[in-house]
Amino acid sequence: MFILIGEVMQVLPSSRNTGKRCFYIDDQHSFDSIMSKLLQKAVTEKFAIGFDIETSVDRRPIKLALLQITTSKANLVIDPVGKDLKLFRLVMASENIVKVIHYAQYEKSVLKNYGCEINNVFDTCIWSRNTYGREKSHKLQDVVYRELGMHMSKEEQTSDWFRRPLTDSQIYYAVFDSESIFMIYERINNSDDIGWG
């Protein structure tokens, strides 16, 4: 899906978990090209993407530092700082693109400050609460371990996400966030459990 414009993006090592290709996108042209491809696909079919963001933890108001998108074919780590978000807003608003997010309330609150409305959300946190009730933890790392048997380190969660270049550890952390929730969605996609939020 993204191979045709791969030459204008930084190709990262493939995912350690799924072998999917990973791309780091830090220019407007590549960003717009990716968003356009997602929107074109949404014209003819409904599909899901794993979605997560990284933000400033010590700045108010909270600032957007990174976007992570996982599709069925690739992992995308996108630097949104200083970018025009027009096409990204359309992707977030699309009813034909299911945005798989863990605790989507946070993403919604942050992106609202950027004029983004997120429609058609599958919230893995809500799904976990509905499925397991109060007896279980619904933090992302706990849900990932319970559903996928994978350990998720949160060491980079409070790191400086405005640092450029990002460290390999930061990029791996960012990819794993969106990729893991997409993997959970794929596992439960055919069940009757409800996780929309």
Q: Consecutive 10-residue runs of the chain (197 residues): their mean pLDDT?
A: 37 61 92 97 97 87 94 94 98 98 97 97 96 91 91 83 91 92 90 47
- Alpha-carbon torsion 150, 156, 158, 161, what sign? negative
Query: What is the pTM assigned to this prediction?
Result: 0.87
pLDDT for position 5: 33
The answer to whether 161 and 66 have CB atoms below 8 angstroms apart is yes
Domains of the chain plus CATH, in order, are 3-188 (3.30.420.10)
- The two tokens of residue 96 are 């034909």
Quick one: which of 100, 9, 95, 124 has its CA closest to 52? 100
